[in-house]
Amino acid sequence: MVKGKAGAESAQKRLEASQDSADRHEGWRYFIEKTDLEPGIDPSEANQQRQAELEERESKALGEENPPNFPSRNSQR
């Protein structure tokens, strides 16, 4: 866990430097995220909580989203 923007940027640079270049090329990158999870939490429990939060955000976004009103392809012919 790091505090502050400078600490987070430094930690991210160290992490990226330690990552294999083939992994970076393939798009396997780690990222730093803000979280309310307590330090030392069980990794599987942390993953479950993050997944639940993601699903909640996605369902809210889908519920609030107004689908675009595009004409169908058949009506243009």
Task: Indicate the domain borders of the chain.
Answer: 1-34, 38-65
Considering only 20-24, 36-40, 46-50, which range has the smallest mean pLDDT? 20-24
pLDDT band at 71 (very low <50, low <70, confident <90, very high): low
Structure tokens at 52: 């639940």
Mean pLDDT of 17-39: 76
| pTM for this entry | 0.44
pLDDT confidence band for 55 (50 / 70 / 90) = very high
Q: Using the Cα atoms of residue 14, residue 28, residue 59 and residue 37 in order, give the sign of their dihedral.
A: negative
**Whether 2 contacts 8, CB under 8 Å:** yes
Taking all residues of the chain, what is their mean pLDDT, rounded to a whole number?
78
